[in-house]
Structure formats: C-alpha cells, structure tokens
Amino acid sequence: MNTYNCPRCGSPSTIERCPVCGRGPEPLLARLGELDAVLATMPATLQSRAAVEAERVSVLKGLTEVAARYLAEAEGQARSAPTPQVPAYAAPAAPTTPPGGAPQVPVMPPLPPYPEIPPHTPPGGAFAMPRERGEVGSKTVQTVLLSLGGLLVAAALIIFTAVAWRNMGNGGRAGVLGGVTLLLLAIPFALKRFRLWATAETFAALAALALWCTTLAGYYLYRPPSAEFGPEAVGAWTAGVLVVLAAYRALARLTATSWVMLPLAVIGSAYAAAGSIGTAVVLMLVIAGTLGAAAWITGKRPGQYATSDKWAGRFLTCAAVVAACSAGLRAAFGVEDPVVPSIAAAVAVLAAANLIGVHFAQRLGVTLNTMLIAGSAAGSLVLCAWVLAVRSGSPELVIPSLALLCAGFLPLLVTRPRKSAWAFASAVIAGLCGLAAFAIVAFDAPDLAAYFTAFLAARLLAPVLADPLGSAFRTASYAVGTGTAMIASLVALGGLGYLFWGNDIGWTLYSAEVPIVLVAFAVASVLLPKRFRVDGAALAVTFAVASGAILWWDQNPARFDAVPTVALLVCAAIGLAAALFSRTLAGRCTGWVALAVWAPLAGAAADVSTSLDLDDAWIRLWLTVTAAAMLVIAVGAPRRSRPDRVLAAVLAHVLGGTTAAAGLLIDFFDWTYDDDATDLVPALQFGVYALALAGAAIMAPVRKWGYVIAALCTGSLGWWSLLAALDVSTLEFYTAPPAAVLFLIGLWRLERHPDTGSWSTLALPILIGLAPSLLLAIDDGNEFRRVGVGAAAIAVIVAGLARRWQAPLVLGSIALAVLVVNELLLLRGHIPTWVPPAIGGAILLVIGATFERRRRDLRRLREGLKAMR
C-alpha cells in the first residue's frame, strides 16, 4: 500500500486516513494513486504518457491548494482561541511613574506563545516543473536518428544484395545474408528487454526487408537449372515472406512489421499479376489472406504503440480487400472476349451494391474499420468495372461507368445531410444502370425497355423499403426514368429530321420500341406525384404520337404522307391541354412552348404533303388563327398565373408576327406567283389577329391600352392590305377609316376624362385624316379632293367651336388657311396686276386706323383660345 504526505499535517499517511491528525479519505490522493499505477505500467516512450503526466501535475496542484486551505484554517483557529490564564498575571503590576511628571502607565503582562504548527511538507511523489524544451524535442531527435539509421542500413542491404556480393562465392554470399537476417530478427527481442521500443521497431523493419532480400537472393543462387527467376517466382517467394512476417508479428508484437508488409504486398501482387492466370489468382488470394491474418493479429496482439497498431491493422485490412478484388480483376482479364461485357456489367452492379452498402453503413454509424473495409471494396470494384468496361469496348457500358464515377466522387464533394441523400441516391442510380446494362449485354434486351424496366422496378420497390433506402430508390427511379424518357424523346425528334430532310441523325427509327416505351411512360405517370402527372403524361404521349406517326409514314411515304401532319396537330392539341390543365407553372409554360413549336411543324408537314395539297397562304392563315387563339385563351383562361400568361402572349405575338413577315417576304420575292384567291389572305391574317388583340383588350385585367393600340395598328394594316388586294388607289380610303376610329376613341376618352385635353385625344386622328389628303390637294387638279378637304376642315373647326376644343380649332384653321392660300395661288394667273397693291394698301390703312382695337381683339382671341380644352 502506497503512503503519501497528509495535505493537512504533512505526516506520512494513506489515502483512507491519516494516523496523526485523523484526516478522512481524500479524493485527490486517490486519483494520484491511480495515475501512479498507470504510469508504472506505461513505457517511457509512449505518446499517451504525456497526457497522464499532465493530469498528475494538475492533481498535485490541487493537493497543494488543499494543503494551503488546511493551513489557513489552522491559523484562523489559533487566532480565535482564548488566552490561557498564567498565575504570574493574576494581578497587574503597580503602575510606574516616569520622570517628568508623565501619566502613569500600567505594566501589561507578556502575550502567550503562538501555538506551534507543524511544518508543511509537499505531498509525496511531487516533482519539480519540467524545464523548457528546446526548439526540437528529444522524441523528434530520436525519430530522426532511427529513421535515418534504418534508411542507411536498408540501402546497404539492397546494395549488397544487388552489387557487392558478386565478388563472393555462393556459400559466402548466402552465409552473409542469412547471418545478417537472423541477427536482425533476433535483435528486437533483446532491445525489448531493455525497453528500447523505438530501436526495436527500427530493427524489426530492417529485419523484414532483409528477410525478403535474403529469400530472393537464396532462390536466385540455388534454384534448379530449369527454374526461371521471373515474375511468378518473385510473387511466390514474396507471398511466402509475408506469411513468415505475419507469424513474426504475432511472436514479436512489433508494429513496424505490420507496416513493412504493405509495400511488400504491393510488390508481390504486381509481380504475381504478370504471371499466368491460374498462378496469378492463387498468389494474389494468398497475399490477400495473409494481409487479412496480419490485420487480425495486429488487432489481437498490439505492441507498445497502440495507435500505430490500430492504423496498421486498418490499412492491412484495406490492402487485403484490394488484393482480393485485384485477384478477381486478374481472373476477369483471362476470360474470353465474348463474355467480358457481361462480366463488366455484373462487376458494375456489384460495385454499385457496395457503394450502397457504404452509404447505408455510414448512416448506421458503424466503426471506422468497417467503413474502411467497405470503402476499399467499393473503390476496388469501381476500378475493376471501369477497366473491364474499357476492355470490352461495349457502348452499352458507358452510362453505368459514368454513373459509377459520379457515385464514387459525389460523397467526397458534399458534406451537408441533404446533399448526402443525393450521394446515396447516386449509388442506387449506378446500380439501376448496371442492371439495365447487364440485361442489354447478356440477354440482348432492348436498350430503352431495359432502362424503363429498371425505373419501374425501383419505383415500385421504393414504398416497400424503409428510409433511407426507400427515399434513395424513389429519387433514383425518377432520375433513371427522366433520363430514359429524354433519350426516347430525342429519338422521336430525330424522326422529324428524317421526315423533312431524309436523315435520321444517327438514331434507329425502324423499331416500335420508342413509341411503346413512351406510351409505357405515359401509363407509368400515375406513379409520379399528383402535380406532375399531367406534365409527364402529356410529354410522353406527345413524343409517342410523333415517333409512331413517323414510323407509320415510313412504311409507305406516298400513301401515308398526311399522317405526320395529323400527328403533329395532335401534339399541338396535347400541348394546349397541358398549358390549360397542368398543376405546375413549369408544365403550363412547357405546354405553351410545345404549342408554339408543334403548330409550325404541322404547317411545314402539311406544306410537303402531296395528298393534302394546301397552298402556302392558307397554311399561313391557319398559323395566324392559331396564334390568335393562343392569345385569346392565354388572356381569358381562368385561374392562370401571370408568368405563363405572359409567356403565351409573347409566343403568340412571335408566331403571328413571324408568319405575317414570312408571308410578305414570300409574296415580295415570288414575282411569278399570281393567285386571286389568296390575295386576301394577308388582310385576313391582320384582321384575325386584330380581332384577337381587341378581345384581349376587353378581357385583360391590366394594361388594356397596349392591346387597344396594337389592335388599331394591326387592324389598319389589315384594312390597307385589303385595299391593296382590291387595287384601291384613292388615299382617303386608307386614311379615313383609321382616323374615324381613332376620333371616336378620342371622343370616348375625352368624355370620360375631360382633364386629358383635346391635343392628346383628338390631334392624332385629325392629322391622320387631314394631313395626307391636304398634301395631295396642294397644287392638284382634282377639285373634288380640294373641296372635300376644305369641307372636312370646316367641319373640324365647327366641332371645335361648338365644344370649345382647342386642337380641332387650331388644326382645322391651319388646314383651311393652307387650302385658301393654295386656291389663291391657283388663281394667281387670273388676277390683274393692280389688285395686289390695292389690297395691300387697304389692309395697311385699316390696320393703321384700328391698331389699338385690333390689339384688344387679338388679346381677347388669345385668351379665348387658352380657355379652350
């Protein structure tokens, strides 16, 4: 039983009780005893010893504080104790009289002696604080010296094995190598008795290297004449050395032996893989088993460096797994070429399953050793799958290989829990792609059908599995299904190139697989969430109809040339239905885009169809009607959000404007085209779209005036196109109707909002109605136009005077004045030469006589004009 100095009295005592002062149990002394016991069993070179020593120092400081507290309590008790009665002090001495007549002072007795306190002694086992270390610690110096010494000795061994022994005989060479090896193997046991653990580890590493060199050198010297010193021999003897080193590790319990086995295993596996398939697989499996056994031994029989043993065991386990997987890869390389794609697909599925297991183990919180083993197996299988896929040269394995690559690297790039769910799902995606590829390469299954089956199986299996597997399978099924549907849709779109240009863009179109798979996707859309079902079904049915129609048309293009047109019209109708009934904004926007795309394609298909024999003008009219319907439906459809309504309106404008512009360009450049039946088509186009704009102006909740102005402009273009088609050349037929409509709108607005003024409401229609005719009426021989313009100007002036509108009065007066001047200029040849001077003089006389009154009248007239609206 250990004894310690009591923190109260300083006497030797035990943890439980002090025999001198009677102190009870002290927890700090108990903890000090535990630390002393631990330090007694720990080697001086162990890294964790420093932590224990630091805790011991803190316990000693606590004991010092406890002793100081006991000392303070003892001093306080001594001060508060009563003064003992001494007989000599029973009566005070007589007062003495100092010289000089000072007052008498009684003589006080002396104070009692201070109670003796035993001297304080530090607790037992205390030691001085450690001195400050230098820039480099002693342990670092020791590690550097041992590492450099071991490196030099290892280099000497290798040089002796390769070069220096050539001048010696076989016996001498074998004796030197064998003796050095045995000596190096025995030295660590002697060093362990003197507790030189680091030096023993260094010699153990050198012994392992020397054993490998000695074994290879001995085989090279004494091998049979027919034996070869090739890769198989190096791999075999290296495997034997690893077995011996595993046994030596169990006997010596030295960590360095475990670490040296790792590079030797890499060398042995590399040389073994270069041999024949049977020998290579056996040797690699032996190496894998030896590494596994060494990992188990390292865990069960740890040495002085527990942390290093732990990591060595982990790395040995990972190396064993990698070696076993490499043996399987070497076996796969030895099989015949026809079965390599199937093996590659199977390995891809196995690799994906291992990745799923890694993610699942991570979520379960397994130990680090288990994670390392699972990760090593998964990484090795991914590498094997890639190598086999490259060797097979099969394009069907491209998608599984890329999926495996993403599943392997995605966990390294994400750290958040939500993103780790995608990493889990990526492993499931890789597994589904591997299963589909295996069915394709092994059983010659159709590509799209195989991936659709994988999607359907995963989606049906997801509700049965518990999370996180259920959610991962659900996400993976959606990803695989989306990718498969996109590929099928691209194939269907490639059929349009085959329809219009006779080229299938590299996709195989002569199979019913594409429409069948797309129809299956449409049926399987019931497995999607409710808000996505309409979108999925609409897209799948659309591309199924397009691809099926192209296949049908390809059977007999001359007979079924109208089928693509009808099919594309159906696709446009499906797009419209999706735009109206989809529950998502993306679905509605996609529906409007589909309608704007499929409608022109249907028109193009109708143009190339010989059985329909439609004129281009009527196709353009139909597209304009489609654009007008899009605009009216988009603006007037109930319960629609603003973004898709705006998108539909923009697409309608683009479709209508592009169709009208294309028609005008065709009519302009096609000089030989002359068909009276289609001359009115441009006017019909503008008229139909003007009506649509007018309806949109009525139904739109906001920004009505934009639609009103657009309707007026488009209607004017339609009216002008109609007049041009009817060969009407009179200008007033072009300007009068738009001016009248604008004038009526201006009157309506002026009545509802009188504060707007006549200039903003009536000036534009008056200018449109009078200005072009006035310009033609100047210096024109057509009296009817001049009279008509004058009458219109007078009517405008009368209207302005009657309603006190400023704009009609001013503009009508200007027009009438211009006409009067023009009439005078037309009559200038019939006026005598004396008339102008006479008129001028009379005017000057009148002005001069009534100047003041004229100024007053002009001022009154100006004020009256300003008072008008």
What DSSP string runs through 328-366? Answer: HHHHHHTS-GGGHHHHHHHHHHHHHHHHHHHHHHHHHT-
The pLDDT of residue 168 is above 60? no
Of 297-311, 328-342, 537-551, 627-641, where does mean pLDDT reach its minimum? 328-342
Determine contact, residues 229/223, Cβ cutoff 8 Å: yes
CA separation for the pair 623, 546 (Å, rounded)? 19
Determine contact, residues 494/506, Cβ cutoff 8 Å: yes
Compute the residue count for the chain: 869
Q: Is 737 exposed, middle or buried (0-12, 13-18, 19+ CB in 10 A)?
A: middle
Q: Write down the pLDDT at residue 1.
A: 47
Tokens (6 digits) for 761 = 């409401």
What tens digit of pLDDT does each residue of 11-37 get? Answer: 777 777 787 777 777 777 777 777 777
Q: Write down the pLDDT at residue 521.
A: 92
| CA-based nearest residue to 427, from 450, 404, 401 | 404
Confidence of residue 335 (pLDDT cuts 50, 70, 90): low
Q: Write down the pLDDT at residue 96.
A: 47
Q: Write down the pLDDT at residue 499.
A: 76
The pLDDT of residue 668 is above 60? no
Rounded average pLDDT over 105-126: 45
CA separation for the pair 827, 825 (Å, rounded)? 5
Q: Write down the pLDDT at residue 41.
A: 64
Confidence of residue 457 (pLDDT cuts 50, 70, 90): very high
Confidence of residue 851 (pLDDT cuts 50, 70, 90): low
CA separation for the pair 732, 772 (Å, rounded)? 8
Q: Write down the pLDDT at residue 426.
A: 86
Of 403-417, 581-595, 612-626, 835-849, where does mean pLDDT reach its minimum? 835-849
Tokens (6 digits) for 549 = 């129609």
The C-alpha R_g of the chain, in whole angstroms, comes to: 53
Confidence of residue 102 (pLDDT cuts 50, 70, 90): very low
Of 207-216, 415-424, 738-747, where does mean pLDDT reach its minimum? 415-424
Handedness of CA 166, 167, 172, 178 (dihedral sign): negative
Amino acid at 60: L
Of 189-193, 245-249, 328-332, 836-840, where does mean pLDDT reach its minimum? 836-840
| Placement of tokens 């003495």 in the chain | 96
Q: Write down the pLDDT at residue 135.
A: 45
Angle, nearest 10°, between helix axes 681-699 and 616-636?
0
Q: Write down the pLDDT at residue 570.
A: 92
Confidence of residue 138 (pLDDT cuts 50, 70, 90): low
The DSSP bridge pattern shows strands 12-13 and 4-5 to be: antiparallel
CA separation for the pair 771, 823 (Å, rounded)? 17
The pLDDT of residue 104 is above 60? no
Q: Write down the pLDDT at residue 369.
A: 66
The full 3-state SS of 229-259, as one line of letters, equals CCHHHHHHHHHHHHHHHHHHHHHHCCHHHHH
CA separation for the pair 747, 768 (Å, rounded)? 16
**Alpha-carbon distance values, 374 to 211, 352, 467 (Å):** 32, 12, 21
Of all residues in the chain, what percent carry a pLDDT higher than 90?
5
Residue 13, strand partner residues: 4
